[in-house]
Amino acid sequence: MQYRTLGRTGVQVSSLALGAMNFGKIGRTTQDDVTAIVDAALESGINLIDTADVYSGGESEEMVGKAIAGRRDDIVLATKAGLPMDDERNHRGSSRRWLVTELDNSLRRLGADHVDLYQIHRWDPNTSDEETLSALTDLQRAGKIRHFGSSTFPAYRLVQAQWAAREHHLSRYVTEQPSYSILQRGIEADVLPVTEEYGLGVLAWSPLASGWLSGAIREGREITTSRSAFMPQRFDTTIPANRTKLEAVEQLAKVADEAGLTMIQLALGFVTAHPGVTSALIGPRTLDHLHSQLAAADTVLSADVLDAVDAIVAPGTDLAAQEKNNTPPALLDPALRRR
């Protein structure tokens, strides 16, 4: 396992980090499954576990808490808040009111007195940067969080938040968690240059592109990944963008074969090769999934392989633009771009 410094925090984290989104009802995993996955991940050298309040309605945090009981101090523990927890209008977002309440809820579920990294799950256009950063700074000073970061923020919001922290003499975001894979490289054009400029650690989620780069999705095969059940539009090969992804996967498979790599090694090795990326978040649902992904822990791609990837998916390109998660609201809601 390789280790990198998380931004400028001085904290050393593994180049592969364990994402817990599949823990609980989302991934149909039991507590025994989760504990076995966590045990194997820690034994392999992974030392960062990332979850969120919204994953399986809090069940993921509860399962992580039980799995790490008695060894909390050896783990860099990260969670997130901001996405809706239920239908109550104030049980979401990044207001002081919600963050103070929900952090206590997360700590209770995790069985911990603090988290090492608390992340705002999405930019909240209804809450000012000063409001959010002042709440996070106070929670940090209270010892409930060590550091805080953002997740899936547009590049311009990352810059704005850094300015607001300096302007109001508040602590700042020290990490960003964006979606990044061979098939979705758009952040290379804007987000990663900003994170490098400000020294932010980067935890890349979905490095296997929701299973497209797992090796299981190939031309002529039935798509059976668990994600296809609740995100069918992302796997419908009659959609042009998905056909483009499938064509790219076929070419990437040849590159992997010629390099003596699995598709997973190619995909994870690509993400961790970028100098702006600290860790790639893997989200196994089973022990077999975990072991196949751990095989990429020490994968270092040659320049020839990276050049071959660039020739298939150009740098800074998203093959499925509709899957971007940081699109400014005004591009999605016509009312926001009309007087």
Non-local (6+) Cβ contacts of 148 within 8 A are 117, 118, 119, 120, 136, 139, 140, 171, 173, 174
- For the question of residue 118 being annotated catalytic, the response is no
Q: Tell me the pairing of strands 76-81 and 201-204.
A: unpaired
Max Cα–Cα distance, the chain, nearest Å: 57
Query: What single-letter amino acid sits at 149?
Result: G
Q: Which amino acid is at 94?
A: S
User: Which of 3, 55, 156, 180 is the catalytic position?
Assistant: 55
DSSP structure string for 301-319:
--HHHHHHHHHHS-TT-BS
Give the containing element (helix H, strand E) for 62. helix 59-67
d(CA 202, CA 196): 9
Contact 45, 34 (CB under 8 A): no
Residue 289 corresponds to which amino acid? H
The residue among 274, 275, 276, 267 whose CA lies nearest residue 296 is: 267
What is the rounded distance in angstroms from the CA atom of residue 240 to the CA atom of residue 243? 5
12-14/3-5 β-pairing: antiparallel
* Alpha-carbon span 199 to 196, nearest angstrom: 5
End-to-end CA gap in the chain: 54
Residues designated as active site: 55
